[in-house]
Amino acid sequence: MSASTPKVWLTTLGCAKNQVDSDKVTGVLHAAGYEDAASPEAADVVMVNTCAFIEPARRESIDTVLELAEAKQPAAKLVVLGCMAQRYEQVLIEALPEADAVIGLDRYPELVGRLDQLTEWQPLQIRPLQQSAMDILYETLRPTPSTPYAYVKVAEGCDKLCTFCAIPQFRGKQRSRSKENIVAEVTGLVRSGVREIVLVAQDLAAYGRDVGDRGGLRALVEEVAAIPGLRWLRLYYLYPGEIRQPLIDAMAEMPKIANYFDLSLQHSSHRLLRAMKRPGSGHGHMELIHSIRKAAPDAALRSSFIVGFPGETEDDVESLAAFLRSAQLDWVGLFPFSPEEGTPAAELSDQVPHDAAMERLRYLQGLQDDITHAKNAAEVGRSVEVLVDQVEEGQAVGRSYRQAPEIDGVVLLDRGAPGEWLQAEIVGAYGTDLEARVLR
């Protein structure tokens, strides 16, 4: 039996939603008395919150588990969590003898008990009652983030039927949190020093639909934005068919909402979008972009696109290139199509060879890089508000409203401390990053 308090290390892979889950898991383990380890080598339990979204993410998850199995102390326990554990529990148990436990999202209520068993720890303090998986994911208890921004998940799961996506299979139907619960969490985070909140969900614009609250996101955003002390609110992943004018107007008019629209357009070909079971067309997407820019002329736009979807031709690639040239999006993520097990798109006959998809992707990426860099260069001379995220080797690093945490570029400042909100003039642009001089 272990006498001292076990120390836990958690590596998180995948998207912002997984980071939210990790924050919750960490909060629950702290409440149960576990402590953080300074490194995997110093941990009694090493955990990996895996991502199963696409094949490269699964490969990275497995590689990380194997690397940590090597790095940890021989007696330390290795636990696999997250989407991959949820979706491939049995396969992982058989294929990864290095792992002492594989615990998917639905079995999070067992997590504390399993760790107690694995570490043979008998804590002296009284434990909170075992909670349901949803309670753990949505519990307001969480550690204070080390950054001035924090992600808050407002719903789990997705009701859409995009043919390339396996998320609904392992995250289930959409379940929205109550507004009160979200507001309580954001209030706590702001009190602890967080200045920017990023609301995330698989299909954020559909927030509230599952509980009969159509247009729920606008009301939620109004309530959250009213929380004193909060400076910025950012919205992640807006499904194009769900973005209505009232939401665009609210985002444009409310000063606390970052003028940043993260659209997931996926392609410009109407035929391919139909095959993906996604809304819109190149023309429809452009109309949406125009309505956003009409309401919010300074809006920064980000979108993601799939390259090499089954049936995609060279003409489709050229039409996507023409769309990117005319849309002039600030930030773009291009992903090669990945045939996900159990999805309709994986069964389509006219698959594009991976090498051809990668060649198309490189072509589009080169074109978009020029657009992104030119948009950044056009920022020089502009005065913008910047939130300082951190100081790295004496260099203050922040972001303007155009830059979401961790995915877009940063603003390098001549001074500033984490959490400070500064007015700065952009004096240089270097690819995706900007340099600025603090005005006040």
**165 binds ligand SF4, rule: CB under 6 A:** yes
Distance CA 300, CA 261 (A): 6
Of 112-120, 160-168, 192-200, 341-349, the window that binds ligand SF4 (rule: CB under 6 A) is 160-168
Q: How far is the CB of 155 from ligand SF4 (least distance, A)?
A: 11
Distance CA 38, CA 29 (A): 15
In this structure, what are the phi and psi dihedrals at residue 359, rounded to the nearest 5 degrees? Answer: -65, -45
**337 binds ligand SF4, rule: CB under 6 A:** no
DSSP state of 108: G
**15 binds ligand SF4, rule: CB under 6 A:** no
Binds ligand SF4 by CB under 6 A, chosen from 114, 160, 231, 244? 160
Q: How far is the CB of 89 from ligand SF4 (least distance, A)?
A: 21
End-to-end CA distance of the chain: 57
**167 binds ligand SF4, rule: CB under 6 A:** yes
Closer of 151 and 401 to ligand SF4 (Cβ): 151
**357 binds ligand SF4, rule: CB under 6 A:** no
Judged by CB under 6 A, the number of residues near ligand SF4 is 9
Q: How far is the CB of 305 from ligand SF4 (least distance, A)?
A: 12
Q: How far is CA 416 from CA 231, 390, 398, 424, 436, in A?
A: 17, 9, 9, 11, 11
- Cβ atoms within 10 Å of 263's Cβ, excluding its own: 22
Binds ligand SF4 by CB under 6 A, chosen from 26, 202, 303, 400? 202
Q: Which two tokens stand for residue 349?
A: 């006959």
Q: How far is the CB of 246 from ligand SF4 (least distance, A)?
A: 21
Q: How far is the CB of 323 from ligand SF4 (least distance, A)?
A: 19
Q: How far is the CB of 168 from ligand SF4 (least distance, A)?
A: 5
- Radius of gyration of the chain from its Cα atoms, rounded to whole angstroms: 22
- For the CA atoms of 421, 425, 426, 427, the dihedral, rounded to the nearest 10 degrees, stands at -140
Distance CA 25, CA 137 (A): 8
Q: How far is the CB of 9 from ligand SF4 (least distance, A)?
A: 29
- Cβ atoms within 10 Å of 120's Cβ, excluding its own: 10
Binds ligand SF4 by CB under 6 A, chosen from 207, 239, 261, 305? 239
**345 binds ligand SF4, rule: CB under 6 A:** no
Under a CB-based contact definition with an 8 Å cutoff, are residues 6 and 100 in contact? no
Of 61-69, 158-166, 221-229, 343-351, the window that binds ligand SF4 (rule: CB under 6 A) is 158-166
Of 96-104, 154-162, 211-219, 356-364, the window that binds ligand SF4 (rule: CB under 6 A) is 154-162
Of 49-57, 164-172, 250-258, 324-332, the window that binds ligand SF4 (rule: CB under 6 A) is 164-172
Distance CA 34, CA 164 (A): 39
Sorted by sequence, the CB contacts under 8 Å of residue 104 that are 6+ apart come out as 81, 82, 85, 86, 87, 89, 170
Q: How far is the CB of 336 from ligand SF4 (least distance, A)?
A: 15
**376 binds ligand SF4, rule: CB under 6 A:** no
Closer of 79 and 167 to ligand SF4 (Cβ): 167
| Burial call 140-178: b when 16+ CB within 10 Å, e when fewer | bbbeeeebbbbbbbbbbbbebebbbbbbbebbeebebbe
**176 binds ligand SF4, rule: CB under 6 A:** no
Of 161-169, 240-248, 299-307, 362-370, the window that binds ligand SF4 (rule: CB under 6 A) is 161-169
**216 binds ligand SF4, rule: CB under 6 A:** no
Q: DSSP string covering 404-418, please?
A: -TTTS--EEESS--T
**203 binds ligand SF4, rule: CB under 6 A:** yes
In this structure, what are the phi and psi dihedrals at residue 217, rounded to the nearest 5 degrees? Answer: -65, -40
Residues at the interface with ligand SF4 (CB under 6 A): 158, 160, 162, 165, 167-168, 202-203, 239
